[in-house]
């Protein structure tokens, strides 16, 4: 492979900070912007969990990414370098490995189940490894790649589902495993683009799971909740119950579709439509629409005739139907899930900031809804604490405890399932680190 010429050949030294092993970085590659966060891990005596301090961030407008998929590697690489370099220069550290979100490639979740006889013995890690191996033994991802594998609970002798049965006595144990797959091409293109930017992937996580890590309270995971991340090109969701992931999915509609609706409906440039959506947009019903008149440019026109007067209620009448469509599709996607997971919804992503959205979703879904602000993290700038940046914050939090929910990151389903011996070895390591 030919040598890579760095975009920024001169990097600052580490400025006396701890070794690179104590530095973690997250990269959210969205369709409208790329965000990089760098954190420092602090391990204190007497405290079992490490703490995280945000030491720098970098945000840059995206080019070369569409619907979460890299379509122009050179342009995407350039933007990634700019975002990372901004964070590096502020913190005085060099980023070599990053946690990255997966939003493109049509991620899909399947839940697999299997039962294993343990003949009245106490459940051991070997039993859990064998059980998960049995659940995955007949799984065929085809041309798709396995990117996440997570235990989704265990039941002893037909009893309630629990997260960790190790040490409990049973005659029979049933286990569920969630497998997340995505299309091969988008993941390979992402890896190659990051490699060209001189970055290694140390962790992958689908967007709603990362957002959940940043905005959910533990009680919400336990009682049941669905996290909905409204991105620019798509809306992704993840449902939780009893502390475990139930299912995740993607709806191919997002905030940019609203922008396009405004541009088409009002015959105005896309940039102006985005500005209108951000500053003036809402999903309030027509009866609550303000009588304000907006002056906006006409697409392709110049001079005195290049402006038009539009009532704000007209703008709302364009935005609301598209948002209703998104949540109608969400309602259909989660209809089969337990009621507890559907009755509580947390909204994240840039699209969650539309005025009146919480009330609209509560009415449409019959659920309790809130906007998911990022939980307190030391050093997190206020500009990144809102729902639009929940994914990148969640990625960084996940780096502190990558296997806390049993996630293991694998790229090749074929490698993972090639031989039961090799696979079970991987599963034993996974459970050893997870429980």
pLDDT tens across 133-188, in order?
A: 788 777 777 778 777 777 778 899 999 888 789 899 999 999 888 887 888 888 88
Please give the angle made by the CA atoms of 366, 370 and 371, to the nearest 5 degrees. 135
Whether pLDDT at 320 is above 70: yes
Mark whether 192 and 47 lie in a shared domain. yes
Mark whether 199 and 247 lie in a shared domain. no
CATH of the domain at 91: 3.30.420.40
Mark whether 334 and 191 lie in a shared domain. no
Mark whether 343 and 271 lie in a shared domain. yes
Q: Minimal CA–CA distance to 431: which of 29, 123, 54?
A: 123
Integer Cα distance of 106 and 141 in angstroms: 13
Whether pLDDT at 416 is above 50: no
392 falls within a domain: no
395 falls within a domain: no
Mark whether 336 and 425 lie in a shared domain. no
Q: Report how far apart, in Å, the C-alpha atoms of 159 and of each of 119, 203, 278, 339, 364 are.
A: 16, 34, 49, 20, 35
Neighbours of 96 (CB within 10 A): 12
Mark whether 241 and 195 lie in a shared domain. no
Percent of the chain with pLDDT over 90: 42
Whether pLDDT at 131 is above 60: yes
Mark whether 253 and 126 lie in a shared domain. no
253 falls within a domain: yes
387 falls within a domain: no
Q: How confident is the model at residue 46 (pLDDT cuts 50, 70, 90)?
A: low
CATH of the domain at 421: 3.30.1490.110
What's the CA dihedral at 322, 323, 324, 326 to 10 degrees? Answer: 90
What pLDDT does 19 receive? 38
Mark whether 96 and 121 lie in a shared domain. no
Q: Of 207, 242, 277, which marks where a domain is finished?
A: 207
What pLDDT does 262 receive? 96
Mark whether 22 and 130 lie in a shared domain. no
317 falls within a domain: yes
pTM: 0.80
Q: How confident is the model at residue 328 (pLDDT cuts 50, 70, 90)?
A: very high
291 falls within a domain: no
Q: How confident is the model at residue 417 (pLDDT cuts 50, 70, 90)?
A: very low
Mark whether 222 and 366 lie in a shared domain. yes
Predicted confidence (pLDDT) per residue in 105-119, tens digit = 777 778 888 899 999
Q: How confident is the model at residue 45 (pLDDT cuts 50, 70, 90)?
A: low
What pLDDT does 205 receive? 82
384 falls within a domain: no
Q: What pairs with residue 357 in β-bridges?
A: none
Mark whether 267 and 317 lie in a shared domain. yes
Q: Report how far apart, in Å, the C-alpha atoms of 8 and of each of 24, 84, 85, 385 are.
A: 20, 10, 8, 29
* Residues spanned by the domain of 178: 108-182+404-434
* Higher per-residue pLDDT: 21 or 93: 93
Q: Minimal CA–CA distance to 179: which of 409, 424, 421?
A: 409
Averaged pLDDT score across all residues of the chain: 82
Mark whether 248 and 262 lie in a shared domain. yes
Query: How many independent structural domains does the chain possess?
Result: 3
383 falls within a domain: no
Predicted confidence (pLDDT) per residue in 363-403, tens digit = 999 999 999 988 877 778 887 888 988 999 998 888 776 55
């Amino acid at each position: 492979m030919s040598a890579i010429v760095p975009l920024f050949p001169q990097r600052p030294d580490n400025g006396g900070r701890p070794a690179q092993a104590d530095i973690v970085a997250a990269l959210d590659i969205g369709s409208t912007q790329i965000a990089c966060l760098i954190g420092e891990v602090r391990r204190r005596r007497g405290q079992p969990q490490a703490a995280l301090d945000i030491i720098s961030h970098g945000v840059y407008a995206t080019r070369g990414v569409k619907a979460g998929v890299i379509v122009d590697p050179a342009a995407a690489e350039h933007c990634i370098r700019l975002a990372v370099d901004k964070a590096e220069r502020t913190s005085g550290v060099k980023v070599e490995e990053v946690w990255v979100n997966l939003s493109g490639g049509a991620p899909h979740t399947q839940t697999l189940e299997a039962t294993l006889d343990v003949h009245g013995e106490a459940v051991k890690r070997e039993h859990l490894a064998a059980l998960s191996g049995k659940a995955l033994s007949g799984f065929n991802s085809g041309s798709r790649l396995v990117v996440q594998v997570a235990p989704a609970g265990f039941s002893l002798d037909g009893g309630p589902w629990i997260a960790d049965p190790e040490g409990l006595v049973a005659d029979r144990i049933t286990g569920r495993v969630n497998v997340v797959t995505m299309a091969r091409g988008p993941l390979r293109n992402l890896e190659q683009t990051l490699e060209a930017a001189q970055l290694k992937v140390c962790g992958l996580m689908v967007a709603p799971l990362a957002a959940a890590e940043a905005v959910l309270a533990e009680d919400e995971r336990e009682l049941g909740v669905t996290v909905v991340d409204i991105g620019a090109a798509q809306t992704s969701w993840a449902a939780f119950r009893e502390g475990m992931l139930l299912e995740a999915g993607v709806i191919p509609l997002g905030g940019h579709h609203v922008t396009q609706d405004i541009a088409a409906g009002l015959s105005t440039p896309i940039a102006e439509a985005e500005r209108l959506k951000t500053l003036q947009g809402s999903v309030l019903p027509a009866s609550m629409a303000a009588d304000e008149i907006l002056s906006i440019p006409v697409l392709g026109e110049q001079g005195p005739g290049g402006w038009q007067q539009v009532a704000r209620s007209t703008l709302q009448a364009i935005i609301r139907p598209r948002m209703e469509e998104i949540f109608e599709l969400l309602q259909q996607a989660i209809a089969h899930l337990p009621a507890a997971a559907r009755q509580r919804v947390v909204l994240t992503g840039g699209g969650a900031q539309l005025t009146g959205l919480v009330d609209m979703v509560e009415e449409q879904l019959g659920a309790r809804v809130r906007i998911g602000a990022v939980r307190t993290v030391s050093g997190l700038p206020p500009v990144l604490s809102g729902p639009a940046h929940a994914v990148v914050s969640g990625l960084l939090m996940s780096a502190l405890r990558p296997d806390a929910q049993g996630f293991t990151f694998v790229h090749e389903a074929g490698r993972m399932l090639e031989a039961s011996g090799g696979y079970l070895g991987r599963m034993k390591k996974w459970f050893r680190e997870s429980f």
